Structure 1
């Protein structure tokens, strides 16, 4: 393992642990992947994030093959398919946060009740149709919900957030869950007002240069 691969594996481990630290995930649910050379690095199946180290991260080829004592996440198909179908995406985060999952259980689309929805790339956070976890059908439905979007809900399941790198994918996952929580509270308070598509389009343009920055050269 060279230094570049070690750094990439460490980034996957840190992202998986950050999901738990942010309260977006618990136990062995949820998974993280990062495009790596001619395949991807992905968290293993059934291993809590606290027990994942660099060596436990699985390299998965784009044909689904792997050579590792641990199996890749059971959701490797939609990770692989998203990275294969979306060249601008280099990182995928899947989690089961409380509010996003609650709306996914109700199979509800999240409307543009806050301008931050622009971070998802459109005026809604779509909810996919339902399919059994780990299946090709779920991957197909996820890709449909992600058309022209950076994130989506998975019916009766959870959420997916993507990004050009892991920090932005994680940031988007947090923003999506925050928006779902705020929408849930707003529904209790009254009737949330949906912003017009033109306003969201303006914000999408602003969001092209918005998001987490890790060093001065990013500004």
Structure 2
């Protein structure tokens, strides 16, 4: 994949998230690794107006320096810090999806109410502590709970997912929002049954053998 094609995919994924209601207007942000740099969506640009040449370019080893016609998202710090800390991660997706954000406002982690939680690497999707957007404190809070997981909630803010590429990270964002919606509805009827850790571990082993097909598991 060339840098130009990766920029084009960032725009495509932004519009997909917008069309399916996980982000609205200019909310949320996406990034992708390109060698030693990070490509990240710009600040305050509606996805319908976004063009590949607007994507900002930031050195992963830098401290906020960037190239491009528009400044990067104000959330660039946690994108950079995740990509620095996790060499296997190639993309980060952050959204303000409705049900994920509801649970983040309530500061509720999502337990194993469905086996698809295994795609996130644990039997619970945690919620990090609150810190103001764009700050080093928020980045530190995210890294503390994310660890080796593929997603988390962000208190009073939204959610994020990570993956080896934009396809996987975006798919995980849709799955996280689906789990959040299921959990929210279960709470309305008094709660449900949570799957044991051993069951989730078994599903995770199955998913590992499915490869790409794990994205479409029923």
Structures share a fold, TM > 0.5?
yes
Other-structure match for 2:130: 130
Task: Check whether the contact 1:171–1:212 (CA below 8 A) recurs between aligned residues.
Answer: no
Other-structure match for 1:161: 161
Q: Alignment partner of 2:30: what SS?
A: strand
TM-score by length of 1: 0.93
Other-structure match for 2:216: none
Q: Alignment partner of 1:100: what SS?
A: helix
Q: Deviations over 1:117-176 (max 9, x none)?
A: 101110100000000000011001111121121000000000001101101101000000
Q: Deviations over 1:93-117 (max 9, x none)?
A: 0000000000000001111111111
Q: How far does residue 211 in structure 1 lie from its aligned partner after superposition?
A: 6.5
Q: Alignment partner of 1:24: what SS?
A: coil
TM-score by length of 2: 0.93
The question of 1:192 aligning with 2:181 is answered no
The question of 1:7 aligning with 2:11 is answered no
Other-structure match for 1:207: 207
Q: Where do 5+ consecutive residues of structure 1 fail to align?
A: 214-219
Distance 1:22 1:210 in 2: 26
Q: Where do 5+ consecutive residues of structure 2 fail to align?
A: 214-218
The question of 1:54 aligning with 2:52 is answered yes
Q: CA RMSD in A?
A: 1.3
Count of residue pairs the alignment pairs up: 211
Q: How far does residue 209 in structure 1 lie from its aligned partner after superposition?
A: 4.2
Larger deviation, residues 186-195 vs 8-17: 186-195
Q: How far does residue 37 in structure 1 lie from its aligned partner after superposition?
A: 1.6
Other-structure match for 2:35: 37
Distance 1:133 1:211 in 2: 34
